[in-house]
């Protein structure tokens, strides 16, 4: 964002002013995106930055958070659409339209009564999505967030144990074991 002087009103959905990523992302197994955006110089710069960081190989960064953070950096909130009226399942994770959805939506998308709807899970970011109010995020905010992250020395020594601790936290959040 700094190198390309990029501003956004959606980045603050993913990153706090303290530089912490809140782990929210859009599941990208169902994604409609503009190839113009994915082929833009700004997206290419972002992707090359991540590739040089070797996180795809060392930390198994996935497509969903990578695309979501890119959208947060490079798009505005008004350019994002959440398909609230479409049911979705990926492995053991699933979502269904709200039980309070319109009768027309309920007829189009019927979900089993025993389905564990991720929207109501503690790990869901849907409440933040619904409550989010766009706020400007500028290269100055990015510089400050990077300064705060560097100050914490997250990527200092002992990276492997920090990554393992984060993986354990994710597994426990979703009921798995490490």
Residues 6+ apart with CB under 8 A from 28: 63, 64, 67, 68
- The single residue listed with the structure tokens 């503690």 is 122
Name the active-site residue from 31, 44, 160, 166.
31
Cα–Cα distance measured from residue 63 to residue 94, given in angstroms and rounded to the nearest whole number: 18
**CB of 37 closer than 8 Å to CB of 75:** yes
Q: Is 45 exposed, middle or buried (0-12, 13-18, 19+ CB in 10 A)?
A: middle
Is 31 among the catalytic positions? yes
Which residues are the active-site residues?
A: 31
């Amino acid at each position: 964002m700094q190198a390309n002087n990029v501003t956004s009103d959606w980045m603050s959905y993913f990153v706090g002013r303290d530089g912490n990523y809140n782990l929210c992302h859009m599941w990208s197994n169902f994604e409609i995106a503009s190839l113009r955006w994915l082929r833009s110089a700004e997206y290419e710069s972002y992707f090359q930055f991540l590739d040089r960081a070797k996180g795809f190989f060392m930390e198994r960064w996935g497509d969903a958070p990578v695309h979501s953070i890119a959208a947060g950096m490079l798009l505005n909130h008004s350019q994002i659409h959440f398909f609230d009226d479409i049911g979705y399942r990926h492995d053991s994770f699933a979502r269904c339209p709200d039980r309070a959805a319109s009768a027309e939506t309920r007829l189009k998308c019927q979900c089993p009564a025993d389905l564990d709807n991720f929207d109501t899970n503690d790990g869901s970011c849907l409440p933040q999505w619904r409550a989010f109010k766009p706020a400007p995020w500028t290269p100055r905010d990015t510089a400050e967030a990077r300064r705060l992250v560097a100050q914490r020395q997250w990527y200092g020594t002992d990276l492997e144990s920090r990554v393992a601790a984060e993986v354990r936290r994710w597994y426990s959040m979703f009921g798995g074991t490490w």
